[in-house]
């Protein structure tokens, strides 16, 4: 039963503020098919009717009901080994996408898991479903990408894994945002006098 997986991850994303009421989408791969959240579904309270099964390469009767990001999910499955995709709108990550060219986490967990997160689409006005090939290509080399002014796409073998990478990205971006507000350069280690007793 796949519904509990979607419900658990959808609720976690909503509870952590990584999606709003009607934003974001989830999918998992099943062979030549994928199961994706319904267009306009509420991730915080997913029901059976919110899941749509369609082909990765072919349309079927259910395809028009799928999320508006279907093209991106399809491209990711065609071009990577991912079995799950989480698209979220993490606010601190999206905010930094306006001013950065890439995200380089400065916290230990972020550096270990996501050493560099590319930001795509800085030169264009991005709409749902855009940059499908560029996103898939970037995800061959990293676990998460950001789309300028829009949101993140994370991959994993399970929805929980992709959700985890999304949360790590947002935590790292929150810290980077606070350091910028404090005018602290995260790449410069603080210098303490040698005779200072701490």
How large is the average pLDDT for residues 35-60?
Answer: 96
Read off the pLDDT of residues 103-154 as tens digits, 9 standing for 90 and up. 999 999 999 999 999 999 988 777 777 799 999 999 999 999 999 999 999 9
Kindly give the pairing relationship between strand 51-55 and strand 102-103: unpaired
Q: Cα(184)–Cα(190) distance, rounded to whole angstroms?
A: 10
Read off the pLDDT of residues 77-113 as tens digits, 9 standing for 90 and up. 999 999 999 999 999 999 999 999 999 999 999 999 9
List all residues 6 or more positions away from 166 whose beta carbon is below 8 Å from its beta carbon: 13, 18, 86, 88, 90, 144, 152, 154
158-to-25, 81, 190 alpha-carbon distances in Å: 14, 12, 39
120-to-148, 156, 173 alpha-carbon distances in Å: 6, 20, 16
35-69 burial, b at 16+ Cβ within 10 Å, e below that, comes to bbbbbebbbbebeeebbbbbebeeeeeeeebbbeb
Q: Residue 18: what are its φ and ψ, rounded to 5°?
A: -85, -15
Read off the pLDDT of residues 62-74 as tens digits, 9 standing for 90 and up. 999 999 999 999 9
Q: Cα(120)–Cα(97) distance, rounded to whole angstroms?
A: 9
Tokens of 25: 């989408």
What pLDDT does residue 192 have? Answer: 45
The closest of 159, 181, 166 to 16, measured between CA atoms, is 166
Confidence of residue 197 (pLDDT cuts 50, 70, 90): low
Q: To the nearest whole number, what is the mean pLDDT of the chain?
A: 92
pTM over 0.85? The answer is: yes
| Domains present along the chain, CATH in parentheses | 3-181 (3.40.225.10)
Residue 42 has pLDDT above 80, yes or no: yes
């Amino acid at each position: 039963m796949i519904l509990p997986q979607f419900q658990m991850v959808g609720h976690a994303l909503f509870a952590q503020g990584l999606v709003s009421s009607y934003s974001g989408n989830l999918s998992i791969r099943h062979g030549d098919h994928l199961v994706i959240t319904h267009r306009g579904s509420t991730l915080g309270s997913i029901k059976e009717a919110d899941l749509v099964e369609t082909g990765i390469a072919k349309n079927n009767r259910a395809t028009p009901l799928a999320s508006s990001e279907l093209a991106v999910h399809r491209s990711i499955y065609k071009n990577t080994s991912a079995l799950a995709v989480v698209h979220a709108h993490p606010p601190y990550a999206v905010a930094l996408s306006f001013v950065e060219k890439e995200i380089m986490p400065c916290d230990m967990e972020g550096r270990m898991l996501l050493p560099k997160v590319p930001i795509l689409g800085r030169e264009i006005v991005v709409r749902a479903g855009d940059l499908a090939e560029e996103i898939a290509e970037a995800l061959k080399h990293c676990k998460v990408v950001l789309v300028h002014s829009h949101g993140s796409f994370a991959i994993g073998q399970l929805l929980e894994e992709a959700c985890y990478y999304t949360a790590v990205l947002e935590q790292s971006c929150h810290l980077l945002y606070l350091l910028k507000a404090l005018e602290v350069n995260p790449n410069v280690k603080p210098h303490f006098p040698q005779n200072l007793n701490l």
